[in-house]
């Protein structure tokens, strides 16, 4: 989002707190909120986020950044209307390297963020994940599916942290009457992803741009569904502003195999890379496709950006980083 002059804020404009604001999704959310007239208090301890993602917002009226770990007590003087809880390592590289921090931000961090929402009488949105479904036995995955998760496997720290966060969020809604929203986010891609974060989109694009072998795990028959970031953030905003207090899937139901996606990346980058196969990691989901019936009905939302269009923008961003 370009850094352009903005009119001064008035007292009628809502105030939003965004945790994990310097991350991939958090920073895009901050851009959208500012564009729609919110004051934004951005919180991040920069463990996996990057100040570069929000550097273009320096000096903009109504934007404030706080370098803080959300597992610590959140004290803010301002009146707050919305709390958007996006803080968490979200890639395999990060949560495998930071398992305890991942569990703490999902539990203690969610508790602190919910406490802030309760104290301020603010509406709260949890950025949950499709990973709460684990390696699903139901396909596509509806919100009513409880999942197939290995709590002690290598992905358990992330999966269970998010499952706990959902339980905590619903408990605050029932016991303390906090207005809560839960977004179950499926694979999302776009500018500001880290090259080395271990997820399939940056991994494939960076390998292809360098003409290195594109690494596919297993036989590449596992499926994924990729949603462009602008579509996802629009869905997140619609959910927060809706009356829906139950979890809602947000993602692109267009499904393809990882091998198909690798070939598409090589084509889109005009790379000379070849595809190589490596053993499938433990508990890697075999299928991932959202049932977005609720999002369509309740939010009047579905993805609009075709994969080809989103990849052009994403590859352009990564080309400047490689």
Place of tokens 């950025």: 127
State the Cα–Cα distance between residues 80 and 116, nearest whole angstrom: 9
Distances in whole angstroms, Cα of residue 243 to Cα of each of 120, 123, 179, 238, 265: 19, 11, 9, 10, 39
The CA distances from residue 7 to 4, 10, 62, in Å, are 10, 9, 10
Pick the catalytic residue from 95, 133, 158, 228: 158
Whether 189 sits among the annotated catalytic residues: the reply is no
E-assigned strands of 87-243? 123-129, 180-185, 188-189, 214-217, 223-225, 227-228
Burial annotation 192-201 (CB, 10 A radius, 16+ → b, else e): bbbeebebbb
Report, as residue numbers or ranges, the catalytic residues.
158
């Amino acid at each position: 989002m370009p850094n352009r002059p903005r009119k001064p804020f008035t007292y009628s404009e809502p105030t939003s707190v965004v945790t994990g604001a310097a991350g991939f999704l958090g920073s895009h959310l901050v851009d959208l909120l500012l564009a729609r007239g919110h004051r934004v208090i951005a919180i991040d301890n920069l463990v996996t986020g990057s100040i570069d993602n929000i550097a273009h917002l320096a000096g903009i009226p109504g934007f404030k950044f706080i370098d803080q770990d959300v597992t610590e007590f959140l004290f803010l003087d301002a009146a707050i209307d919305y709390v958007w809880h996006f803080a968490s390592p979200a890639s395999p590289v990060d949560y495998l390297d930071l398992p305890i921090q991942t569990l703490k931000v999902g539990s203690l961090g969610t508790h602190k963020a919910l406490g802030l929402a309760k104290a301020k009488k603010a509406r709260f949105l949890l950025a949950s994940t499709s990973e709460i479904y684990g390696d699903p036995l139901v396909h596509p995955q509806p919100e009513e599916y409880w999942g197939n998760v290995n709590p002690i496997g290598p992905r358990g720290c992330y999966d269970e942290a998010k499952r706990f966060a959902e339980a905590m969020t619903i408990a605050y809604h029932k016991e303390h009457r906090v207005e809560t929203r839960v977004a179950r986010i499926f694979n999302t891609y776009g500018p500001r992803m880290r090259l080395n974060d271990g997820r399939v989109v940056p991994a494939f694009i960076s390998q292809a741009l360098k003409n290195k072998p594109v690494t596919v795990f297993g036989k590449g028959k596992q499926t994924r569904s990729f949603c462009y970031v602008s579509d996802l953030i629009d869905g997140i905003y619609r959910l927060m502003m809706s009356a829906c207090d139950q979890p809602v899937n947000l993602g692109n139901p267009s499904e393809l195999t990882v091998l198909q996606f690798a070939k598409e990346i090589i084509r889109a980058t005009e790379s000379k890379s070849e595809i190589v196969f490596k053993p499938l990691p433990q508990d890697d989901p075999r299928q991932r496709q959202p049932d977005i019936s609720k999002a369509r009905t309740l939010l009047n939302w579905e993805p609009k950006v075709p994969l080809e269009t989103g990849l052009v923008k994403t590859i352009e961003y990564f080309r400047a980083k490689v």
